[in-house]
Amino acid sequence: MAPGDEEDAGDAGAPAAAAPRVPSPRRLAAAIQAMIRRRKIGPGGKLPTEHELAEHFGVGRNAIREAVQVLKAAGVVASKQRIGLTVLPFDPSPVFDQVIPQITSEEDRAALHEFRKIIELAVLPMVRKRAAKEDLDRLEAILNEPLPKGRRAVRAGLERDQAFHEGLWKLAGNPFIWSLRGLLLRYFRDIADEHRHQVPESRMHDANAEHLAVVRAIKAGDLDGAVRMMTANIGEYTPGGVPNVEETAG
């Protein structure tokens, strides 16, 4: 056992000689994560082998394999042939994505949509501060392309809507915000896609114009204008993905 790792072993259970109860995969995974932190194993760094981990924590290799699966699902580690277990770069998105199947009620969707609106406005000053001009130019070019006509405009518009919001979130340069994209952007995009037959073509053209105005306001340094346009844009859709036609018409 490496010096200073006594806490790791204690986290996982009692010494093997005492016939301990095997800790749950999640508890053992947490103990392995604690070991990663204490040993300061950074992204790309190698973990001990399964055999070494089993010996270290006083458990069988099957228990280690189950714990490793928990860590893989959480995006903490990966395994490669002839290399073994390595630590992945920080990315909390798999943790947030696990919440998606639990969102089942209209109340949950409304609360999530409310949270998304907060984030959408919060990223704007980050984008203005951190985004390079060429990145904003690329996003503007995407939005400046004419949408197709007819019902194809709806599908193309929804795809462009996702590209716009994800583009801004990435340019915000905050890994926690970026990791929420599956939960707060693609989740609602999937719902909207299911109801795209209810979305009028004109709404897609209006939304694209609003998105373009947001990007141009950021490029011009007009943060207040960007916030006003984004507020109007995100207020015109319901959590169910169908546009609020009455508000839009008004």
Phi, psi of 77 (to 5 degrees): -135, 165
pLDDT in tens, 78-131: 998 888 999 988 777 877 888 888 888 888 888 888 899 999 999 999 999 999
Residue 8: predicted pLDDT: 54
Residue 17: predicted pLDDT: 52
Residue 106: predicted pLDDT: 85
Single-letter residue type at 101: P
Measured between alpha carbons, how far is 141 from 167 in angstroms, rounded to an integer? 12
pLDDT in tens, 196-215: 788 888 988 999 999 999 99
Residue 94: predicted pLDDT: 77
Answer whether residue 23 shows pLDDT above 90: no
Chain-centroid distance, C-alpha 186: 9
β-sheet bridge partners, residue 79: 85
Measured between alpha carbons, how far is 188 from 239 in angstroms, rounded to an integer? 7
User: Out of 64-78, 148-162, 187-201, which region has the weakest mean confidence (pLDDT)?
Assistant: 187-201
Question: Chain-wide mean pLDDT for the chain?
Answer: 85
Chain-centroid distance, C-alpha 176: 7
Domains defined for the chain, CATH in brackets: 6-90 (1.10.10.10), 102-249 (1.20.120.530)
pLDDT in tens, 27-76: 999 999 999 999 999 999 999 999 999 999 999 999 999 999 999 887 88
Residue 250: predicted pLDDT: 35
Res. 186 pLDDT band, cuts 50 70 90: confident
User: Out of 96-100, 141-145, 183-187, 192-196, which region has the weakest mean confidence (pLDDT)?
Assistant: 192-196
Res. 184 pLDDT band, cuts 50 70 90: confident
